[in-house]
Amino acid sequence: MNQLTRRQFGATAGAIAAASIIPVRARAAEVLKFGHITDETNTWHLAAAEFARLVEEKTAGEVVVEVYPNSSIGTERELLEGIPLGVADLTISSDSMAQWVPSILLMSHLFTFRDADHVLAFMESPIAERIEAELTETARLRPITYFLRGPRYLTSSKPIETVDDVQGFKLRVPDVRMFIADWSAIGANPTPMAFAEVFGALQQGVVDGQENPYALISSAKFFEVQSHLNQTAHVRQAIYVVIGEDRFQSLEPAYQQAILEAATEAQAFEREQFLAAEAALEQQLKDAGMTFVETDVSGFKERVKETIPNEFPELQEDMAAIEAL
Ligand code: CS2
């Protein structure tokens, strides 16, 4: 049940209760708005809805979480910047928070993480712990859990076999400095843009391609406007669920506790859903007509080797520690 129906349900339940002797559902003491960028089929949304259900259950309906998918109350950036203003209270984000905590860009450098286990080792490392503390203190955005994501793949309307095929390629990227630096070093023409605008930009030929995990390629229907899925797997990362720290601190300790417990349980739920979905997505994208290309990524790797020493020397020490994980 998505949040709009949840609200409608609340209204209907209220009307029924008023007209009969059914006990009235506790009036919500707190309402939290959870906005995010994916559609209702994506596992992030399913997990956000499960989180909402758990919070409501744990607080006997006193805390209600309204989930708004599809960037409907803001793009990722608008949500992040809007949290202190009350536009939203929770969202799903990672490296887009680099404007407050630059070291989160460690998650975005191309080809840093070898595989999903390496990502998990990082997420549980002291470096990630430090980033999470900085996000809470500096960005006033408290990570309460993280969700899994698949590797990012480059989509296009022509096969990308080697790095030569992306020279001058107009590539939509999230507004993340590391993506811009890495793709510029590769020789592409990275264009930062909000996720909600990507489909239209691909359709109108404003950009030649984009890069994202299977789940977003599928749920945003990029297969309708891109014919090739190039198996670059160039970025692997997880993504945080964050709550505005000031809003969080304004809540009663029992509500805070319920939110943290619900987040942990929603993480387990997301993991199960994500792993099942990820296994089926490759075939679904093939069935939707995408041609899978075995890209030779060696030239891409070669070209991003100097990004950190040249442009982000302050990340070098942590990067070496991550490589050793
Ligand atoms: C998404 C985001 O916009 C996109 O392409 O994949 O989740 C992106 O990874 C964000 O920048 C994360 O903060």
Do the beta carbons of residue 104 and residue 112 sit within 8 Å? no
Is the distance from the beta carbon of residue 212 to the nearest atom of ligand 1 less than 6 Å? yes
Helices (H) and strands (E) in the chain, counts: 13, 11
Q: Which fold, 6-324?
A: D-Maltodextrin-Binding Protein; domain 2 (3.40.190)
Do the beta carbons of residue 86 and residue 21 sit within 8 Å? no
Instruction: Please report how the helices 316-323 and 126-134 are oriented relative to each other, as an axis angle in degrees rounded to 10.
Output: 140
165 C-alpha to ligand 1 centroid (Å): 24
Question: Using CA positions, which residue lies closest to atom 7 of ligand 1?
Answer: 93
> What does each of the 325 residues of the chain score in pLDDT, given as a tens digit?
344 334 443 444 444 334 444 444 557 899 999 999 999 999 999 999 999 999 999 999 999 999 999 999 999 999 999 999 999 999 999 999 999 999 999 999 999 999 999 999 999 999 999 999 999 999 999 999 999 999 999 999 999 999 999 999 999 999 999 999 999 999 999 999 999 999 999 999 999 999 999 999 999 999 999 999 999 999 999 999 999 999 999 999 999 999 999 999 999 999 999 999 999 999 999 999 999 999 999 999 999 999 999 999 999 999 999 999 9
Do the beta carbons of residue 300 and residue 163 sit within 8 Å? yes
Is the distance from the beta carbon of residue 143 to the nearest atom of ligand 1 less than 6 Å? no
Mutate to test the pocket of ligand 1, among 108, 216, 218, 219 (most ligand atoms within 8 A of CB): 216
Is the distance from the beta carbon of residue 269 to the nearest atom of ligand 1 less than 6 Å? no
Is the distance from the beta carbon of residue 96 to the nearest atom of ligand 1 less than 6 Å? yes
The domain locations on the chain are 6-324
196 C-alpha to ligand 1 centroid (Å): 11
SS3 161: coil
Residue 96 CA: nearest ligand 1 atom is: 13
41 C-alpha to ligand 1 centroid (Å): 17
